[in-house]
Amino acid sequence: MLDGMFSLVLLDTRDNSFIVARDAIGITSLYIGWGLDGSIWISSELKGLNDDCEHFECFPPGHLYSSKEGVLRRWYNPPWFSEAVPSTPYDPLLLRQALENAVIKRLMTDVPFGVLLSGGLDSSLVAAITARHLGGTKAARQWGAQLHSFCVGLEGSPDLKAAREVAAYLGTVHHEFHFTVQDGIDAIEDVIYHIETYDVTTIRASTPMFLMSRKIKSLGVKMVISGEGSDEVFGGYLYFHKAPNKEEFHRETCRKIKALHQYDCLRANKATSAWGLEARVPFLDKEFINVAMAIDPEWKMIKPEQGRIEKWVLRRAFDDEERPYLPKHILYRQKEQFSDGVGYSWIDGLKEHAAQNVTDRMMQNAAHIFPHNTPTSKEAYYYRMIFERLFPQNSARLTVPGGASVACSTAKAIEWDASWSGNLDPSGRAALGVHLSAYGQQHVPSVSAGMEPQEIIRDDIPRMMEAGAHGLAIPS
């Protein structure tokens, strides 16, 4: 069960009673519905309930439902859930070991697999640990000891460049998939149908992942290991630069983890499973979360004057001079949200397309057409129109979270900076004064504290496989 990663249904055939338990964090999706005849329905997708249920809703993570009791009850109650501020000193070796154990645990597989590699910190660390521990495992004996990595992006995107260098450093067989803005726009309706949301950030990021997952599955790969969850656990989003104190910093990480099932986990699970691909996320291992969330948040605070950028505790834990996991400039690369990293023109193209399909008059009437979670941008309105056509039930629209956000923040965190209230966009570039390519600023390369600028793309990278290459050479 990989430490509570999956949901579970137990049926007692003696009286047909049952218990349903959802995984701790919400890595996989689950919904519960009630039929007109009093029946209870459980489904991993909304579309499995909308024709047969009078009402349905998200089955909350870490809960179980007993047909005898008829109520939802929480079974997962870790120390961090109360949002009490912890005080455990930072131990880099303990944190490193906890993540390595989480990755190793997810190497148990009997199917061809690989890693999703964006070239950012989280996916690069997962790839580095996987490459380091793959040899000698049953998976290596069955499928080969050379790791396969996958990346998607627009031509010339930040992720593609960084991922190539990481892949070369780790010696993976790297598969690079390109898409155009038009490819993404053409897939939007399919993405909303499969991801089952109208949340702007989720759709922006799900589209390239959806396109990539199809390519990966066509190569014969059935499982991928990914880096979701790290930004929530360590406060890696750029808006955390503005956290006023460690108490607010910690409470925001708790809020972000609790909401993962509605955002990043929803994307990672459904964008891959739409093509029969399984995604595993070691950063959301329960034991790892317990270790990471017990650290005194003072250590997680972003303090540029001390050389501590976002996720410094994680970066420092894997900064090994004797046996480096990653090149320094990758280990200290600035955070890029997936929807930004695949290419900045992706989001700009989406906004332009939405503007062509949503008029000013439509926006003026938005509150009357969509009184719940009223769209505040033409892009949001465009996604909402498609969602409502596919899922017209009121229960469906209530499963999608709402509220203001800047750079993926919760509504509460907007209070940290007064200027954000006038710049509400979930892109990381909305973190004005923080992101190196913020809206209205000229893009410059990411440089970690104390380092010289470095070019992160080479033309002679070996072991490179472009999109459309032949299937994986995996030994039988």
Beta strands in 393-443 (DSSP E): none
Q: Which two tokens stand for residue 473?
A: 């050479």
Asked if residues 260 and 253 have their Cβ atoms less than 8 Å apart, the reply is no
Q: Give the H/E segment covering residue 57.
A: strand 55-58
| Best CA proximity match to 46, nearest among 391, 425, 358 | 391
- Work out whether strand 55-58 and strand 40-43 pair parallel, antiparallel, or are unpaired: unpaired
| Best CA proximity match to 463, nearest among 170, 226, 220 | 170
Q: Give the H/E segment covering residue 9.
A: strand 8-12
Q: Is 226 annotated as a binding residue?
A: yes
Q: Which two tokens stand for residue 428?
A: 């990381």
Distance of CA 206 to the CA centre of its chain: 9
Please, which residues bridge with residue 465 across strands?
A: 175
Q: Is 152 annotated as a binding residue?
A: yes
- Work out whether strand 63-66 and strand 17-21 pair parallel, antiparallel, or are unpaired: antiparallel
Angle between helix axes 200-218 and 344-357 (nearest 10 degrees) is: 120
Rounded distance between C-alpha atoms, residue 273 and residue 27, angstroms: 12
Q: Is 434 annotated as a binding residue?
A: no
Angle between helix axes 246-258 and 286-293 (nearest 10 degrees) is: 170
Side-chain-facing half-sphere of 265: CA atoms under 13 Å: 27
Local structure of residue 277 (DSSP, 8 states): -
Q: Which long-range contacts (CB under 8 A, 24 or more apart) does 191-196 make?
A: 191/271, 192/383, 192/386, 192/387, 192/390, 193/47, 193/390, 194/270, 194/271, 194/274, 195/266, 195/267, 195/270, 195/271, 196/29, 196/45, 196/46, 196/47, 196/266, 196/270, 196/391, 196/396, 196/399
H helices of 151-196, in order, are: 158-170, 181-195
Rounded distance between C-alpha atoms, residue 403 and residue 438, angstroms: 22
Q: Which residues are annotated as a binding site for ATP?
A: 116, 152, 226-227
Q: Which residues are annotated as a binding site?
A: 116, 152, 226-227
